[in-house]
Amino acid sequence: MSRRWFVTGGTPGNFGMAFAEAALEAGDLVVLTSRRPQEFATWAQQYGDRVLVVPLDVTDTAQVAEAVRAAEERFGGIDVLVNNAGRGWFGSIEGMDEPAVRSMFELNFFAVLSVTRAVLPGMRARGTGWIVNVSSVAGLVSAVGFGYYSATKFAIEAVTDALRDEVAAQGISVLTVEPGAFRTNAYAGFADEPVSEPISEYHDMLKQVQATFVQMGGAQPGDPRRGARAVIAAMGHDSPPRRLVLGNGGYDAVVDTLEQSLADIRKNETLSRSADFPERSSAG
């Protein structure tokens, strides 16, 4: 039977579109949500009644409920939720504007919870389903100048790990996906934005961060379509992974960071174990 997908964050040239097209290639049905659904009118026509494009700002809980209701009415349920909507921006930990930080958490973290909680009742009722949370390599490897973006993705990692264990008994599988540098439009606007940093000591650092992303634009090694297909392949494994890092550079960075962290923890094992109350002697 065809699976019914609900994909957030539909934007031409980004991962949302890649997930939608990979699912359609597999013979499935897709609900693609977007803040600008008119951009997908021509694209959707070629798939007929296999595709439903729904307007959705994932930070609006009323719109989330309406979009999920529309998907369930059209296809009878949601089998695969892909929480793809999100955005990153750069700034120093000390100087980044607090409303901007909170806005990033609203989109990258709290909106993911909102959509997930709206979809879960239907999955629980059917006793089956998949939740795919798109995190980032930055959710496992914090990046200079992207500390708050990394924080939103680290939070996704933690919530997803807990959710996976909570819903397993309900027949629901959960996968975290961590893309590295992929050729999408995610950072297309970086070149046109001035560095907004009130603390001069960080300005040069952030200019370099901006320049790196601008230079990388259009030359990232990751192919979103191949990445989406890799996710579908992982979902089909007899023992699916808990997380899937996408891309050579991302894989190497994650493995190197985790090995360094493990080595550092082990190096201080004596100090770590010294923090407990002494064990009571069994003698006497």
Give the catalytic positions in this structure.
135, 149, 153
Q: DSSP assignment, residue 238?
A: S
Residue 277: count other Cβ atoms within 10 Å of its Cβ.
5
- Tell me the β-bridge partners of 134: 177
Q: Which residues are bridge partners to 176 per DSSP?
A: 133, 243
Contacts of 70 (CB under 8 A, 6+ apart): 31, 52, 54
Q: What is d(CA 120, CA 214) in angstroms, rounded to the nearest whole number?
A: 38
Phi, psi (deg, nearest 5) at residue 277: -60, 145
Helices (H), 168-283: 203-216, 224-235, 248-267, 269-273
